[in-house]
Amino acid sequence: MNIVEIIEKKKKGNELTSEEIRYTIEGMLSGNIKDYQMSALLMAICLKGMNAKETTELTLAMRDSGDVLDLSCIGKTVVDKHSTGGVGDKTTLIIGPLMASLGVPIAKMSGRGLGITGGTIDKLDSIPGFNSDISDEEFIDLIKTVGVVDAAQNKNLAPADKYLYALRDVTGTVDSIPLIASSIMSKKLASGADAIVLDVKCGTGAFMTVYQSAKALAEAMISIAKLAGKTCVAVITDMNQPLGYAVGNYLEVREAVRFLAGKEQNPRLYRIVVELCKQMYKLSDMYTEMSDDEVEEIIKDAISSGKAYKKFKEFISGQGGDVGFVESLESAVDVDNISYEYRASKSGVISSIDAELIGRVSLALGAGRVNKEAEIDLYAGIIFDKVVGDFVNEGDVIATLYAASGGKLEAGKALIEESVSVSDSFSDSDIIIDVL
């Protein structure tokens, strides 16, 4: 076997064997296969694709390149949820404790934000004391004692993915469905859950901007999960507008807290939380023959009874976070940052708030990372007073922007006007597009 033959084979669009795929990944990590050869192979995969079997073999080879967590000691079906990334997506913060409050063990390893997409670990970092850098033993212990854990992906989780992703980033080979699907699923499979619910975002603020490509990505990931012996459901959800009222790390934690405390529940956020939890519940051991409506009632009750909020506080304190700080988030925003109120220049209905542009506003304010090494301001971001479908009178506040400096605030101000459209009418769309 040699890498030049493997590249030639893929260039002609032929199927690679599992031995060839493993040989390539091992050679890449040992340095025997050079970056220029891997880059050529990645481009051939981008152009010629990979079938379901090859994509799964690639995923498994990447999973096995590092630590693979064994959660069989939990003795129950452990469920995970993964979002392909969006703007204002704080669902993980709500869903993990909510499901744990219903007796479904949740084992989550999350990432940090990059570009316009936020990451759960950055959000949790805004809670004083919260520790996401925990050992495998602590991870398992927290699932057993609290029922929910969220840790930063450890350095040895699918190292082949880290290597490949860095190459893809600089060789124009990120946007390939087999490469994205194997990258995401290698980390999911290594983090040990038995059942996975995928939230595949679709729209301007997502990797996949149109339904057909979101569906193709969802199908590729489901096929990998099934071939790897896991149960998996994908929900395709709309990401043309930001999710909920807040964008930015501390501000999103605050929105999650207010949601769980019953203070403020954005309807689209409520809808997606209930749908994702329903799918997770149906994959868990708690599920017995019951209708979807009955499952939804159980989930809604966990929110309205305060059970999910109680579990959220246990989750935060289980990982060292300050529960007093969490409770303080139920009230007004309390940050040192300077702010600017963006007001409607005319009366009408908000017909769109472009998720991609809002992601850029958030980056300009300092809430996001331009590259992996960049520092972020955990307290910067945006709170919307009005969302798509709301009526505004001229002069009403639509959103408040928060930033650490006048320069950053000015950069955000310049962009927000382009992001929001006020018209005579708007067309409503369900956030849940499809369930596969």
**Contact status, residue 340 vs residue 400, Cβ threshold 8 Å:** yes
Is residue 214 a contact point for ligand URA (CB under 6 A)? no
Q: Mask of contacts with ligand URA, 194-213, x by CB under 6 A?
A: --------------------
Stretch that binds ligand URA, among 14-22, 178-186, 242-250, 264-272 (CB under 6 A): 178-186
Is residue 41 a contact point for ligand URA (CB under 6 A)? no
Is residue 303 a contact point for ligand URA (CB under 6 A)? no
Q: Which of 33, 62, 98, 180 forms a contact with ligand URA (CB under 6 A)?
A: 180
| Residue among 119 and 244 whose Cβ is closer to ligand URA | 119
Q: Which helix (H) or strand (E) holds 108?
A: strand 106-110
Is residue 220 a contact point for ligand URA (CB under 6 A)? no
Is residue 218 a contact point for ligand URA (CB under 6 A)? no
Tell me which residue has its CB nearest to ligand URA: 183
Is residue 183 a contact point for ligand URA (CB under 6 A)? yes
Is residue 109 a contact point for ligand URA (CB under 6 A)? no
Tokens of 235: 């929900």
Number of Cβ within a 10 Å radius of residue 305: 12
Which residue type, as a one-letter code, is found at position 197? Answer: V
Q: Mind telling me the catalytic residues?
A: 82, 161, 168, 183, 187
Is residue 153 a contact point for ligand URA (CB under 6 A)? no
* Cα separations in angstroms, 277 against 16, 153, 157: 38, 23, 26
Is residue 186 a contact point for ligand URA (CB under 6 A)? no
We find the least distance from the C-beta atom of residue 191 to ligand URA, in angstroms, to be 12
Instruction: Please state whether 144 falls in left (phi above 0), alpha (psi between -120 and 50) or beta.
Output: alpha
- Cα gap 192→189, rounded to integer Å: 6
Query: Please, which residues have CB within 8 angstroms of residue 395's CB and are 6 or more apart in sequence?
Result: 343, 344
| Residue among 186 and 266 whose Cβ is closer to ligand URA | 186
Q: Which of 21, 99, 148, 184 forms a contact with ligand URA (CB under 6 A)?
A: 184
We find the least distance from the C-beta atom of residue 22 to ligand URA, in angstroms, to be 20
We find the least distance from the C-beta atom of residue 169 to ligand URA, in angstroms, to be 9
Nearest CA to 201 out of 318, 306, 84 is that of 84
Produce one character per residue of 247-278: b if its CB has 16 or more CB atoms within 10 Å, e if not.
bbbbbbbbbbbbbbbeeebbebbbebbbbbbb
We find the least distance from the C-beta atom of residue 37 to ligand URA, in angstroms, to be 20
User: Which residues make beta-bridge pairs with 151?
Assistant: 109
We find the least distance from the C-beta atom of residue 278 to ligand URA, in angstroms, to be 25
We find the least distance from the C-beta atom of residue 21 to ligand URA, in angstroms, to be 17
**Packing angle, helices 52-63 and 177-190, rounded to 10:** 40
Is residue 121 a contact point for ligand URA (CB under 6 A)? no
Residues in binding contact with ligand URA, number by CB under 6 A: 4
Q: Mask of contacts with ligand URA, 328-367, x by CB under 6 A?
A: ----------------------------------------
- Cα gap 370→378, rounded to integer Å: 14
Beta-strand pair 148-152/420-423: unpaired
| Residue among 16 and 181 whose Cβ is closer to ligand URA | 181
| Residue among 208 and 433 whose Cβ is closer to ligand URA | 208
Please report the DSSP string for 309-320 in residue order: HHHHHHHHHHTT
Nearest CA to 107 out of 154, 64, 144 is that of 144
**Packing angle, helices 3-11 and 18-30, rounded to 10:** 130
Residue 125 has what DSSP assignment? H
Beta-strand pair 348-353/420-423: antiparallel
We find the least distance from the C-beta atom of residue 184 to ligand URA, in angstroms, to be 5
Stretch that binds ligand URA, among 177-185, 236-244, 250-258, 269-277 (CB under 6 A): 177-185
Q: Give me the residues that bind ligand URA (CB under 6 A), please.
A: 165, 180, 183-184
